[in-house]
Amino acid sequence: MPLFGLKFGKKKLKEEERHLQANNRDFNLEFEYANNSIKTSKYNFFTFLPLNLFEQFQRIANAYFLFLLILQLIPQVSSLSWFTTVVPLVLVLTVSGVKDAIDDFNRHKSDNHVNNRPVQVLINGRLKDDKWMNIQVGDIIKLENNNFVTADLLLLSSSEPHSLTYIETAELDGETNLKVKQALTVTAELGLDLQKLSDFNGEVKCEAPNNKLDKFTGTLTLHGEKFALDNEKMLLRGCTIRNTEWCFGLVIYAGPDTKLMQNCGKTTFKRTSIDRLMNVLVLVIFAFLALMCFILAIGNGIWEYDTGYYFQVYLPWADGVSSAPYSGFLMFWSYVIILNTVVPISLYVSVEIIRLGNSFYIDWDRKMYYPLNDTPAQARTTTLNEELGQIKYIFSDKTGTLTQNIMAFNKCSINGKSYGEVYDLAGQRTEITEHTEKVDFSYNQLADPKFVFYDHSLVEAVKLDDAATHRFFRLLSLCHTVMPEEKKEGNLVYQAQSPDEGALVTAARNFGFVFRARTPETITVVEMGETKVYELLAILDFNNVRKRMSVIVRSPEGDLTLYCKGADTIVYELLDSSCGPLKDETMEHLNEFAGEGLRTLVLAYKNLPEDYFEEWHQRHHEASTALDGREEKLSELYEEIEKDLMLLGATAIEDKLQDGVPQTIETLAKAHIKIWVLTGDKQETAVNIGYSCNMLHDDMKDVFIIEGNTSEAVLDELRSARKKMKPDSFLDSDEINIKFENPSTKSRILPEEQANGVYGLVINGHSLAYALEGNMELELVRTACMCKVVICCRVTPLQKAQVVELVKKYKKAVTLAIGDGANDVSMIKTAHIGVGISGQEGMQAVLSSDFSFAQFRYLQRLLLVHGRWSYIRMCKFLRYFFYKNFAFTLVHFWYGFFSGFSAQTVYDQWFITLYNLVYTSLPVLGMSLFDQDVDDRWSMQFPHLYEPGQQNLYFNKIEFVKCVLHGTYSSLILFFIPYGAMYDTVRSDGKAIADYQSFALMAQTCLLIVVSVQIGLDTAYWTAVNQFFIWGSLSVYFAIIFTMYSDGMYLIFTASFPFIDPG
């Protein structure tokens, strides 16, 4: 490990291309590639103290108190004891340091756990047990079923036929379904033969490390022959091996170079906007303090020159003071110490206590507890609570965050007849409830017991051997990429690449067409109890452009058939002209299904002539092995064969949302919070969810789709959308256009722009990549921020973070990101507030988050109740705190004019010490921990109450000026009323009352009563605790005063009474 965690020496050059050789560590070490060790912690044993103190002293107030402490150690200027500063300063630094140490210790534990995971590495023909952190680029390692993938590997061979390997990518893209990877044929032959694997010396040349999860380009050179490598042959770190006994892989990228780590955003220290404002205000107060001290120092110089110089017999100058100007100079620093209470260090201690208390409220909230998996809400940080009350933009993942990731086959249309509704005896449609009779699938031994359907007529059609219905379900059982898992006879579990595929195959299973097994060449289906093996001749893959998937199979009877399913708009273009009437009937059903927010697909088929298929299949093989233009050639072939299809019908699937999601989104929208969905899912899925969640709706003026494949096309689409929403935004007189035409303008913050209606925006990942480039980002943020809802599809984890960063850069708004998978970590770390949902996809998102809970619906309570209360309480606290301290401190300022500017304190030292520590600390803490303007029920019922926080109305620079003026006014009254009342007054026996002690006692008593009344006026919600703190603080004050000024105390501690001359 480098000394103190720092690396010295020459800077590593940027990697352009990676070149490595299998089983040759000496060759690979020349390139100084990173090993497989990761580090997410900030400190080590040696650097913790200096780095942590450096970070803490970046807080201006901490540095200021250190400076005060140094001043108090100088006898000539010290007017207060040194311990009045050192004790609270050490306390604050210790509390913050311990908290940071615990956080970093947990990060170290996590790093050590990962780095020390065991793995089998092939060395000198033998498998050796080693740790993850010792793995090097070029090593060959063995992985077994349910193992985590150690690094980014090139798959060499596996236990499965054709060297297929099944992986789960939940930690990468949030999807829990299985995906299939396949090794090159030339490496698949290595099998489990350790000698062959040890002799393997292939050379790989590939792209430099990057964050693109779905892309890999490289070549493998073996025995002088080159083979193309792509993402289908890669196993990425973060994946888990499933349903595969063993596999071998060659390490391409390790540790920080892996795509998972490249997608992890840097850990940044998050501060709230109030924190940043407090830093600015502290600077302003310092300037104000310096001005007051300067005025008093000038006053002292003049007074000593005009008056004090001639009275040195009675008022001798201090040792070393030889002139009035020098006396004024020393008095400047003395007054810095006396007046420092305008920014007492207790402010920061109190702020941390308030935040901690409000964090406990979140942890203890039973209404945010999810009993099904025993998960309470958790505040994982205590520094961001009040910012929860200021959120303007929410960036949400979709899968597992808005949805349960559970799909249900709901309805279908077969040969012009709609199924799925329930009718009564009179033929009237009835609503489905929990009492509605379900279809009994007990006749089917392989049926899924969890599957629920209510329309009995569909089962009857299947049992009556209706040809169209059988073909419909046969298509669903064949046209998919689902993997079956049968651990016990008859106990089938499907692993689907998308939940809707799983739902469709499960529906076919229950209606008698059971998908049982698959190999790369065959699909086994049990049709109405009879096992049939179909020969799988070709898979025509789904992609965003095609929006459909097809398979070509040969039945046991020898029939060649193409089965196709896809988006209605696409498949309808491919149908045979003879399908006219059926198209119209099916379209009616599709519109009905879509109106209910269901996800729809159209099914079609085509019988193929043998001779034509043989010729097409030969061309397909040539295209699939081409190195150049492979995708374009395949696309043309697909287009050619997917023509003149016969329509079968349509499916309608309900994507099960989490409970309360639509209501939550509706409530948050009423609070003027804008919601952006950033998902790796395809566009149709995301848009359908948008409608299901009440984000998108038919009342919107328009929903813009941005899907250009060039930067020019994307720019045109964005501009045309903005022109429709706000035509005036293209005028030269537009405020933003003027601002950005002037390059000298430093502020990049865009003002809010109002559209002429309600709009939505949907943008694809490839289009987003262009939109995030250089000059186009401004166009994107202007257009997107005018829309009420934005949905970004097919985005990478890093793009999620870039979108969040874009809004932070151009909008003066607080952002919140919420997600449940490792693919959301970058976004969670980038946003002002990160929320993790502890769901089905591991704990990566939760571990990186600031707050966590189990269900999306708890977000409205977190923001509208806890966030709003925290913000109001913090603002009230700061307003009162600055008021009471200005009122307290400025009395000294006025007193300076009546005490020869001698840095004499008005109050006794005990009062100065205990004012912030005892007398006024608990009442303001009571208000800041318990105050509510309205209860939680009203906060949720009236989301508009959230708006003042978004606009930061309760504490800002103007509110601060009001506090200062209020405090200044109070200090004038608190000084001059007691002064006037005691001026030239005498007791009944003729003795003067106007002594220093009596005046000080009266001034400090008036001050304490006034600030106590003020806290009472500021409190909106009285509890027994508030009453106890206020009356208790006053009682403690009077008890201490009566004790201190009693004759007994004077006789015991005569020297401690500064008011009375013991001589």
Instruction: Tell me the pLDDT tens digit for each residue of 504-534.
Output: 999 999 999 999 888 767 899 999 989 999 9
- The answer on pLDDT for 942 being more than 90 is yes
Considering only CA atoms, give the Rg of the chain.
37
Angstrom distance (rounded) from CA 548 to CA 361 = 50
Instruction: Identify the residue with better confidence: 151 or 709.
Output: 151
Q: What is the mean pLDDT of residues 1029-1035?
A: 95
Q: What is the mean pLDDT of residues 776-796?
A: 90
**Helix/strand/coil (H/E/C) assignment for every residue in 682-697:** CHHHHHHHHHHCCCCC
Break the chain down into helix, strand, coil percent, rounded to 5: 50, 20, 35
Angstrom distance (rounded) from CA 711 to CA 545 = 18
Q: Tens digits of per-residue pLDDT, 416-429?
A: 999 988 877 776 77
Q: What is the mean pLDDT of residues 76-102?
A: 73
Which pLDDT score is estimated for 834? 93
Q: What is the DSSP string of 878-905?
A: HHHHHHHHHHHHHHHHHHHTTTTT----
Name the range with the highest mean pLDDT among 70-79, 640-649, 685-694, 901-910: 640-649
Angstrom distance (rounded) from CA 636 to CA 640 = 6
> 646 is written with which tokens?
């016969």
* pLDDT classification of 917: cutoffs 50, 70, 90: confident
Which pLDDT score is estimated for 6? 40
Q: Is the distance from CB of 801 to CB of 827 less than 8 angstroms?
A: yes
Which pLDDT score is estimated for 9? 40
Q: Which amino acid is at 740?
A: F
Q: Indicate the range of 479-483, 708-712, 802-806, 900-904 predicted with least confidence.
A: 900-904
Q: Indicate the range of 445-459, 691-705, 732-746 predicted with least confidence.
A: 732-746
Which pLDDT score is estimated for 203? 92
- The answer on pLDDT for 840 being more than 60 is no
Which pLDDT score is estimated for 157? 93
Angstrom distance (rounded) from CA 343 to CA 438 = 70
Catalytic residue among 139, 257, 397, 908: 397
Which pLDDT score is estimated for 2? 40
- The answer on pLDDT for 624 being more than 70 is no
* pLDDT classification of 1057: cutoffs 50, 70, 90: low
Q: Is the distance from CB of 319 to CB of 293 less than 8 angstroms?
A: no
Instruction: Identify the residue with better confidence: 630 or 227.
Output: 227
- The answer on pLDDT for 795 being more than 50 is yes
Residue in 384, 295, 277, 274 with CA at minimum distance from that of residue 339? 295
Q: Indicate the range of 305-309, 476-480, 721-725, 1026-1030 predicted with least confidence.
A: 305-309
Distance of CA 701 to the CA centre of its chain: 30
Name the range with the highest mean pLDDT among 197-211, 541-555, 1043-1057: 197-211
* pLDDT classification of 84: cutoffs 50, 70, 90: low
Q: Tens digits of per-residue pLDDT, 9-48?
A: 444 567 888 999 999 999 999 988 998 988 878 888 888 8
Q: Tens digits of per-residue pLDDT, 269-306?
A: 677 888 888 878 888 888 899 999 999 999 988 887 88
Q: Which amino acid is at 26?
A: D
Which pLDDT score is estimated for 8? 38
The pTM for the full model equals 0.72
Q: Is the distance from CB of 904 to CB of 299 less than 8 angstroms?
A: no
Q: What is the mean pLDDT of residues 102-109?
A: 84
Instruction: Identify the residue with better confidence: 178 or 872.
Output: 872
Mean pLDDT rounded to a whole number for the chain: 85
* pLDDT classification of 249: cutoffs 50, 70, 90: very high
Buried (b) or exposed (e) across 985-997, using 16+ Cβ within 10 A? eeeeeeeeeeeee
* pLDDT classification of 139: cutoffs 50, 70, 90: very high
Rounded to the nearest 10°, the torsion over CA 186, 191, 193, 198 is: 50
Q: Which amino acid is at 321?
A: V
Neighbours of 319 (CB within 10 A): 7
Which pLDDT score is estimated for 615? 92
CA 492-493-499 angle, to 5 degrees, is 140
Q: Is the distance from CB of 410 to CB of 420 less than 8 angstroms?
A: yes
Neighbours of 890 (CB within 10 A): 22
Q: What is the mean pLDDT of residues 248-276?
A: 82
- The answer on pLDDT for 433 being more than 70 is yes
Q: Tens digits of per-residue pLDDT, 217-247?
A: 888 888 888 887 888 899 999 899 988 899 9
CA 862-864-868 angle, to 5 degrees, is 95
Q: What percent of the chain has pLDDT over 90?
A: 41
Q: Indicate the range of 308-312, 724-728, 843-847, 921-925 predicted with least confidence.
A: 308-312
Which pLDDT score is estimated for 841? 52
- The answer on pLDDT for 907 being more than 50 is yes
Q: Is the distance from CB of 872 to CB of 933 less than 8 angstroms?
A: yes
Which pLDDT score is estimated for 685? 67
- The answer on pLDDT for 810 being more than 80 is yes
Q: Tens digits of per-residue pLDDT, 727-767?
A: 887 776 677 776 666 655 556 788 888 888 899 999 988 89
Q: Is the distance from CB of 563 to CB of 553 less than 8 angstroms?
A: yes
> 816 is written with which tokens?
């919140």
> 850 is written with which tokens?
């600031």
* pLDDT classification of 1061: cutoffs 50, 70, 90: very low
- The answer on pLDDT for 110 being more than 90 is no
Residue in 617, 676, 932 with CA at minimum distance from that of residue 795? 676
Instruction: Identify the residue with better confidence: 69 or 289.
Output: 289
Instruction: For residue 659, indicate whether it is catalytic.
Output: no
Which pLDDT score is estimated for 436? 81
Q: What is the DSSP letter of 533?
A: E
Instruction: Identify the residue with better confidence: 625 or 997.
Output: 997
Q: What is the mean pLDDT of residues 173-202?
A: 83
